[in-house]
Structure 1
Amino acid sequence: MRFLRDNGLTIALLLAFFASMTGMAYSGWGHENHELTRHHLPAIGFVAYITSENFFSALFENWESEWLQMATYVVLTAYLFQRGSSESHDPDDNSTGSTDKEPPPRSHSWIYEHSLGLALGLLFVLSFLGHFFASHSAYNSDAAAHGETVQSALAYLGNARFWFESFQNWQSEFFSTATLIVFSIFLRYRGSPESKPVEAPDNQTGN
């Protein structure tokens, strides 16, 4: 039981992830078959749907925005400030963040010192590519079904549909992160490391 206690946060989030993934798969399958029926096409099975370009396009489209949000957040909070927010370094404290004058330990390489941002950035790039290729395949399948001209991968890179799919998620991630940063100035949640102490003044920066 100690394992569950020590890893409860990750376990709870992974369970929520798998539950949401299941809901996405089954509801997406139902929606896909509804659209096929509207176009007088035969319905597809569940396995066929979760291995289709439409499913992977939607999946990577969302993952892409999440990794972008987290990578950007990790990098920006190392250099920029928001006075009063629990999500920011104190701009007047020269012992933290990018103002740290102490040289890094020689045993730590530049890659290791920036590994969190690099890992999240890499996951964003991989998800972006997964979204692009799946969305491109889905677009061409839809175009072929309607007797329209298919596009090359290079041409699809300038397609409004692909960028709409990306930007509609990116904007929400950046806005929600900015909201969290500002809300943490004035609002509290007792016991959460993402919140300042309940008694802390609004102008206190950091936890």
Structure 2
Amino acid sequence: MTSDKASGRIGRPGRFWHDNGLGLAFGTAFLIVLVAQAFAGHADYNNRLLGDGMAQIGFGDYITSSDFGVDVMENWQSEYLQFFLYIFATVWLVQRGSPESKELHKAGRESDEDQMVGEHAREDSPTWAADRGWRQGAYARSLGLVMGLIFLLSWLAQSITGTAAYNEQQLRQLQAPTSWAEYLLSSDFWNRTLQNWQSELLAIGSMVILSIYLRQRGSPESKPVGAGHDDTGVEG
């Protein structure tokens, strides 16, 4: 077996940054945008307070407020819903010509040999992949289940922070606050939710269809530039 040192994985300056560049770049960009959102949201919130004739609040008070929380959570839940739906939908549904789809003949759960589970597991396969019991079944669905769980938790957090933010606005207007259950049925909650869901579904559909005919050289989300439009499940 070739050692990491022999293969050049040790001793090369900046190897960690190179090998983890995608995760580090998006993690850093996420934090930058989240902080920028907090500052922009704080300014906007204080402008609304001034418009209502109320005193402004500090930055620390804003980022711990329900107003900031609901804005963050409503975006998180829609993003994780997108991944949850896409992960499970692409098990069974295919799209001719799209690199976002499996090959047409592979629709479904695929064979144990294709998935390298049980007796077909390799030496470097995760331990639970070789198990024949419930652990393999759980691990085989772990990505979709975790995405679904994060979606539900962030949606719950959105509903709780949304209730608090809604009631704060109600009190400013000298109107009666509402309960959490009542807020779940309100137009405010579903307006916040559905406007995010429709944008995520549009983004998924656009990526699936546009990637049939358009290319991005070097990207695994695109087919090779010279691949035919009908080539399916082929990544560049």
Q: Which blocks of at least 5 consecutive residues in structure 1 are unaligned?
A: none
The structure whose RCO (Cα within 8 Å, separation 6+) is larger is: 1
Percent identity, aligned pairs only, is 38
1:18 aligns with 2:31: yes
TM-score normalised by length of structure 2: 0.84
Is 1:35 the counterpart of 2:48? The answer is yes
**Inter-partner Cα distance in structure 2 for 1:136 and 1:204:** 48
Rounded to whole Å, the distance in 1 between the matches of 2:48 and 2:112 is: 60
**1:154 Cα shift?**
1.1
How far residue 200 of structure 1 moved from its aligned partner, in angstroms, is 0.3
> Counterpart of 1:190 in structure 2: which amino acid?
R
Q: Kindly indicate whether residue 97 of structure 2 is the aligned counterpart of residue 87 of structure 1.
A: no
Shift of 1:15: 1.2
The answer (yes or no) to whether the contact 2:91–2:109 under 8 Å persists in 1 is: no
Which residue of the partner structure matches residue 110 of structure 2? 100
CA offset at residue 101 of structure 1? 3.7
What secondary structure, in the 3-state scheme, does the structure 2 residue paired with 1:89 have? coil
1:198 corresponds in structure 2 to 225
SS in structure 2 of the partner of residue 78 of structure 1? helix
Taking the aligned partners of 1:99 and 1:172, their CA distance within structure 2 comes to: 28
**Residue 203 of structure 1, CA deviation:** 0.4
**Quick check: 1:57 aligned with 2:70?**
yes
1:103-114 equivalence runs, <5 A: 104-105=117-118, 107=131, 109-114=136-141
Rounded to whole Å, the distance in 2 between the matches of 1:101 and 1:5 is 34
> Computing the radius of gyration over CA atoms, which structure comes out larger, 1 or 2?
2
What do the CA deviations read for 1:112-135 (whole angstroms, capped 9, x no partner)? 000000010000001000100000
Q: Does 1:119 align with 2:129?
A: no
Cα separation, 2, equivalents of 1:36 and 1:99: 54
Distance 2:179 2:45 in 1: 25
Large movers: runs of 4+ above 4 Å: none
Task: Look up the match of 2:171.
Answer: 144
The whole-number CA distance in structure 2 between the counterparts of 1:151 and 1:71 is: 31
CA RMSD of aligned residues (A): 1.2
Distance between the aligned counterparts of 2:43 and 2:109, measured in 1? 53
Q: Alpha-carbon deviations, 1:92-113, whole Å to 9, x = none?
A: x3xx341624475251521100
